[in-house]
Amino acid sequence: MPSVLVVEDDQFVRSALIRHLTEASHTVRSVGTALEALREVAHVPFDVVILDLGLPDLDGAEALKMLRGITDVPVIIATARDDETEIVRLLNDGADDYLVKPFSVEHLSARMAAVLRRARGAAESASHARVIRVGGLAVDPLRRQAELDGVALELTRREFDLLAFLAGRPGVVVPRKELLAEVWQQSYGDDQTIDVHLSWLRRKLGETAASPRYLHTLRGVGVKLEPPPPEQPAGQSPPAGQSPPPAGGPAV
């Protein structure tokens, strides 16, 4: 019996959602402000949150960012705003799905079922996952922790998802469309979304696009993660076909 938090200040809409979700055997709690929602999710383990954007104390988009700072609970945005740019931004900021008002209760039920299926699938995959090691990288999908050369990485939710997805396929070039579908759960989007997150991730891995160590972009193809080549020990002979460096002292 999934538990749902409805964050909606319109009393008519709120009552209708509570009635429908209760009839569908969901456990429902409801609040009318963003701050109340933050307090609720900090103390109650909900299965899904339905979040209105037009809240009286804080815009729902800002509330979403704050929610993502404390929980990974799936969030479905319920909004009267139908601007595609804003919808894409909300998805990039951590929303799992969105519905444009007005919507039918059947539509909401279908979207909730899909989000809950994805959440259950991700939880089951994580429960069987082992720590992924690629070079000096260690990624723990179950605990959602990552380390580089023994030092913990401070990653956002999306940065971790991107790193874990690529680390699970070391050396494999992953097309951008696949990244959008699997990491962002989107069937559409622009390359800038991926590029921005790759840039942030590279910075935390101590590399740049010009001097990559782990993350490599193949223009027009995709992205891959692979370990950096081992450093050549001092005094070791150069590879076949390569001349040794010239001696530093004067000729005798």
Q: What is the pTM of this model?
A: 0.54
Q: What is the mean pLDDT of the chain?
A: 83
- Please give the single-letter amino acid code of residue 99: L
Per-residue pLDDT at 129:
57
Token pair, residue 108, equals 């909401």
pLDDT bracket for residue 233 (50, 70, 90)? low
Residue 229: CA count within 13 A, CB half-sphere: 3
CATH architecture of the domain covering 3-127: 3-Layer(aba) Sandwich (3.40)
- C-alpha to C-alpha distances, 17 to 75, 105, 113, nearest whole angstrom: 15, 8, 15
CATH ID of 132-225, from 3.30.390.10, 1.10.10.10, 1.10.8.290, 1.10.730.10: 1.10.10.10
**CA 209 and chain centroid, separation:** 21
Per-residue pLDDT at 249:
42
For the stretch 42-70, pLDDT in tens is: 888 898 999 999 899 988 888 998 888 88
- C-alpha to C-alpha distances, 22 to 2, 81, 130, nearest whole angstrom: 10, 27, 38
Are 189 and 125 within 8 A, CB to CB? no
Token pair 């050396």 in the structure block, residue: 171
Q: Return the number of other C-beta atoms located less than 10 Å from residue 250's C-beta.
A: 5
For the stretch 185-197, pLDDT in tens is: 776 666 677 888 8
Q: Are strands 145-148 and 137-140 parallel, antiparallel or unpaired?
A: antiparallel
For the stretch 93-136, pLDDT in tens is: 888 888 888 888 888 888 888 888 877 666 555 555 578 999 99
| Element holding 191 (H helix, E strand) | helix 191-204
Per-residue pLDDT at 201:
93
The DSSP 8-state label assigned to residue 206 in this structure reads T
- C-alpha to C-alpha distances, 91 to 24, 85, 94, nearest whole angstrom: 26, 10, 5
Q: Are strands 3-7 and 48-52 parallel, antiparallel or unpaired?
A: parallel
Whether the link from the prior residue into 238 is cis, omega within 30° of 0, is no
Strand partners, 223: 174, 217
What is the residue extent of each domain of the chain? 3-127, 132-225
- C-alpha to C-alpha distances, 77 to 52, 60, 110, 243, 250, nearest whole angstrom: 6, 8, 14, 62, 73
pLDDT bracket for residue 87 (50, 70, 90)? confident
Lowest mean pLDDT among 29-33, 163-167, 228-232: 228-232
Token pair 């991926």 in the structure block, residue: 194
In the predicted structure, residue 224 carries a pLDDT above the cut 50:
yes
Q: Map residue 31 onto helix, strand or coil.
A: strand
